[in-house]
Amino acid sequence: MKLNQKNLVDISNRISCPTYERTQLNTAIVHIGVGGFHRSHQAYYIHQLLQKKGSENWAIYGVGLREGDRNMYNTLKAQDGLYTLVTQHPNGNIENEIIGSITEYQLAVDDPQSVIDKMASPNTKIVSLTITEGGYNFNPSTGDFDFANPDVQHELKNPHDPRTVYGYLTAALQKRRANGLPPFTIMSCDNIQHNGDIAQKMVLAFTKKQDAELATWIEKEVSFPNSMVDRITPVTTTEIIDYLIIENDLQDKWPVVCEPFIQWVVEDNFSNGRPQLEDVGVQFVPDVTPYEKMKIRLLNAGHSVLGITGAIHGHPTIDACMQDEVFAKFMRAFMDKEVTPILGSIEGIDIEEYKDNLEIRFGNPNIKDSVSRICSESSAKLPKFLIPTLKENLEKGGSITYATFILAAWCYYSDKRIDRDGRPIEIIDAMADQLYREARKTKTNPMAFLKQESLFGNLAKNDRFAKLYTQMIRKIYGDTSIREYMQEIV
């Protein structure tokens, strides 16, 4: 049976389905970047809220900005926005639930004006984002807006033909202001420390170039709450699609798999109202800083540590890495020796317990989070997740062994592009060509990769670091396998 609104009553006999009347909902949240994560996280929270009644005006209007989102568009159109969330517990239990909170979806490239109009509509209260670390368009080392991006250049010259999130937000806010409407809140849900502050800085940099008066208005009127978001959501595989057909007679072209753990901590700072998300477990706090730092520096960096070394060794998934004692120990030692000392204590959180829990989550054998997903866009991730830890430890005289090892391994990975057994490694990274080009020079100049200042800043100039890095590069490029080397270190 195909998943769509018409079949929902039938499907509800065997799978948990929305109990709310979807046709009666109104959309107040425009969400840009409807991928797996948005669907396992924010859309799931909103779904739970809708199940409770009384929040009928908070449904989601999803937006895909790029041509690459066409597949999602076609799927959600055919399924009336419905999809299955498959929650995989570590003990093998599986829960299936049909989520109904995304009631409309638009592919912006097909009709940019309709998206601008929707954002500018009086009913829209929040525009939320999951556009990934790379989508914010800043130089990772300076933190400044990258005006060289050709899409940005284009939309600055052609404000009616937006390409990036900045063109859309500016056009919509301009329209709201002209119509005397209050602005929407811009709510970033990406893994960036101070994601709201960064979103604000980037929006303002862009708008100042286009419409300085508007920029002043935005600065005064628009809220950009910071948030910490968390739920491991692997790439959807054909196995899951088949499982739903075979076990549940349900044809869903793009279900979402996730772990049972879910967390969302948000600063209570909204310009135009917000849903009562505290009723479904969202934590509203005055300052999200300690939570986001802990999450990004431990979970996301821990993922990268396992992912990059795992890719070189040939472990296909994160749980496979965790089953390998050497990898599990290495990751924990990185957390204990290099991250924990710089985190300090966080009110209400037991860091040891948090790390123990991370080990269980990473080891969940039913999640099968691919190492290639984790390594994707490392050029946007490592400067946010790992390098700041390294720099803080350099300043404080702390341990830098593990983080330095990961940078050396990342160079090797970018250079060789094959694993221990000679199988090609799939590298998904907007900077893949440049990374390859620079890593290739390592043979003649061990520090070559580190010279990319937009990623590493002036790290290469630090003697303590440079010495260790060079030593590690020599050994990784030598006869010792990555696993043997990791074993020596832990």
Give the residue among 141, 145, 170, 172 at the shortest CA–CA distance from 155.
Answer: 170
CB of 44 to ligand CS2, least distance (A): 13
For ligand CS2, the closer of residues 231 and 332 by Cβ is 231
SS3 at position 162: coil
For ligand CS2, the closer of residues 38 and 177 by Cβ is 38
For ligand CS2, the closer of residues 60 and 305 by Cβ is 305
For ligand CS2, the closer of residues 101 and 191 by Cβ is 191
For ligand CS2, the closer of residues 36 and 81 by Cβ is 36
Locate 76 and state its tokens.
Answer: 């959600």
**Is residue 345 within 8 Å of residue 445, measured between CB atoms?**
no
CB of 340 to ligand CS2, least distance (A): 18
CB of 318 to ligand CS2, least distance (A): 9
CB of 231 to ligand CS2, least distance (A): 5
CB of 155 to ligand CS2, least distance (A): 27
| Strand duo 27-32 + 94-99: pairing | unpaired
User: Beta partners for 284?
Assistant: 266
Tell me which DSSP letter residue 425 carries: P
**Is residue 254 within 8 Å of residue 75, measured between CB atoms?**
yes
- Report how far residue 277's alpha carbon sits from residue 357's, in angstroms, rounded to the nearest whole number: 24
For ligand CS2, the closer of residues 18 and 225 by Cβ is 225
For ligand CS2, the closer of residues 43 and 232 by Cβ is 232
**Is residue 423 within 8 Å of residue 314, measured between CB atoms?**
yes
CB of 300 to ligand CS2, least distance (A): 4
CB of 67 to ligand CS2, least distance (A): 22
For ligand CS2, the closer of residues 274 and 381 by Cβ is 381
CB of 385 to ligand CS2, least distance (A): 7
308-310-316 Cα angle (round to 5): 120
| Strand duo 94-99 + 83-88: pairing | antiparallel
User: Beta partners for 98?
Assistant: 84
For ligand CS2, the closer of residues 191 and 452 by Cβ is 191
Residue/partner pairs of 377-380 with CB below 8 Å, 24 or more apart: 377/132, 377/133, 377/134, 377/428, 377/429, 377/430, 378/304, 378/307, 378/308, 378/410, 378/429, 379/134, 379/140, 379/429, 379/430, 379/431, 379/435, 379/455, 380/132, 380/133, 380/134, 380/140, 380/430
- Report how far residue 64's alpha carbon sits from residue 237's, in angstroms, rounded to the nearest whole number: 21
- Report how far residue 413's alpha carbon sits from residue 449's, in angstroms, rounded to the nearest whole number: 11
Which residues would be at the binding site for ligand CS2 (CB under 6 A)? 191, 230-232, 299-300, 303, 374, 381
For ligand CS2, the closer of residues 134 and 182 by Cβ is 134
Give the residue among 226, 110, 227, 211 at the shortest CA–CA distance from 167.
Answer: 211
CB of 41 to ligand CS2, least distance (A): 8
> 186: buried, middle or exposed (CB in 10 Å: 19+, 13-18, 0-12)?
buried
Residue 435: partners with Cβ closer than 8 Å, 6 or more residues away: 379, 414, 427, 429, 449, 452
Cα four-point dihedral sign 36, 38, 43, 44: positive
CB of 182 to ligand CS2, least distance (A): 32
CB of 362 to ligand CS2, least distance (A): 9
For ligand CS2, the closer of residues 182 and 316 by Cβ is 316
The closest residue (CB) to ligand CS2 is 303
- Report how far residue 206's alpha carbon sits from residue 219's, in angstroms, rounded to the nearest whole number: 12
For ligand CS2, the closer of residues 205 and 382 by Cβ is 382
450: left (phi over 0), alpha (psi -120 to 50) or beta: alpha
CB of 203 to ligand CS2, least distance (A): 23
